[in-house]
């Protein structure tokens, strides 16, 4: 369920309607919370709907110190989101 909510948050109009108190970070597990943070940053910077591929690229670029195991775990999460 949390991954479908993350996918929905990538849509700009849905994001605008549900950001902040309507969709707090505590709703998500630790790993998914970091993906939501990447979506928050992308929405601030790009101000448009973003794709899962764009969020994955931004996330991986902003977290270069992840281990191979962590990268594989996040890649699996992004695959489920897509």
The range of the structural domain enclosing residue 44 comes to 2-81
Distance CA 16, CA 77 (A): 24
Write down the H helix ranges in 11-67: 12-18, 30-46, 52-62
The number of distinct structural domains making up the chain is: 1
Contact 36, 6 (CB under 8 A): yes
Beta carbons within 8 Å of 29's beta carbon, 6+ residues apart: 2
Q: What percent of the chain has pLDDT over 90?
A: 90
Q: What is the pLDDT of residues 15-40, one digit of tens each?
A: 999 988 888 989 999 999 999 999 99
pTM of the shown model: 0.91
């Amino acid at each position: 369920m949390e991954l479908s909510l993350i996918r929905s948050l990538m849509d700009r109009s849905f994001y605008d309607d549900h950001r902040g108190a309507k969709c707090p970070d505590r709703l998500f597990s630790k790993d998914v919370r970091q993906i939501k943070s990447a979506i928050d940053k992308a929405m601030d910077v790009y101000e448009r709907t973003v794709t899962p591929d764009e969020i994955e690229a931004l996330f991986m670029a902003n977290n270069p110190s992840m281990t191979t195991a962590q990268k594989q775990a996040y890649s699996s999460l992004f695959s489920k989101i897509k």
